[in-house]
Chain A
Amino acid sequence: SQQGEEDPQALSIQEGENATMNCSYKTSINNLQWYRQNSGRGLVHLILIRSNEREKHSGRLRVTLDTSKKSSSLLITASRAADTASYFCATATNNAGNMLTFGGGTRLMVKP
């Protein structure tokens, strides 16, 4: 079952613009993670935010978490063509240890 649902499913922007992707989930979580996947390749971990955190930064990435709304957002600032990829949110629930449940992903295209 998909715990996380990303929105939008696809996003196309120009280089230099900001990209915002949203993730909604259904049950209580221990933490939420964002991953990036280049076409047909393995996923790469970007950032993790715990349920008691509201915002986290890593370089050009900013993640927010609103547990009352069961939602998270990933903001990529000053996007580059190399940011073109699919982005997935994944949730870790308290009852499932390491088990991560992934959403369907957002396909981001950054045009040079």
Chain B
Amino acid sequence: EAQVTQNPRYLITVTGKKLTVTCSQNMNHEYMSWYRQDPGLGLRQIYYSMNVEVTDKGDVPEGYKVSRKEKRNFPLILESPSPNQTSLYFCASGRTGYGTEAFFGQGTRLTVV
């Protein structure tokens, strides 16, 4: 089954403790992206990657890191999480080129206390 898989689905952590949210897709998509969703703000893009070893900042990259060592994986790293990073995070993938739909993971609800 074609899917984007995120782990974990839920995470509660403390301020400053490094964490990684994994994202994997099995559709051989070149493009992958991370979004955060907050009430009243819709979805905002954090980072995206057009292919292996190619990453770029989205609208809200501060406090986040990503890597794209393999085509299928695009982990999101929070080196020193803060409470304002409490949010619902989504990973998405798609084929490159304009006019292609994005496939979303089920989301990771992160709480930083």
Contacts and interface: CB of A to CB of B under 8 A. Distances in A.
Interface of A: 1-2, 30-31, 33, 35, 40-45, 48, 50, 88, 90, 92, 94, 97-105
Given A44-B104, A92-B98, A105-B42, 13 more contacts: A2-B42, A35-B104, A40-B107, A41-B107, A42-B107, A88-B42, A92-B99, A97-B98, A98-B31, A98-B48, A98-B100, A98-B102, A104-B42
Of A42, A44, A92, A101, most B-chain CB atoms within 10 Å: A42
Nearest to B35: A102
Majority DSSP secondary structure for residues of B touching A: strand
A43 B94 CA distance: 13
B53 interface: no
**Interface residue tally on B, bucketed by range:** 20 to 34
Nearest to B59: A1
Interface of B: 4, 31, 33, 35, 40-45, 48, 50, 58-59, 88, 90, 92, 94, 96-107, 109
Which 10 pairs between the two chains have the least Cβ-Cβ distance?
A42-B104, A45-B101, A104-B42, A102-B43, A98-B31, A30-B98, A43-B104, A31-B99, A42-B106, A102-B42
B33 A43 contact: no
B90 A43 contact: yes
B18 to A, nearest CB: 25
B42 A48 contact: no
A110 B75 CA distance: 37
A101 B92 CA distance: 13
A15 B59 CA distance: 38
Nearest to A46: B101
A42 B88 CA distance: 10
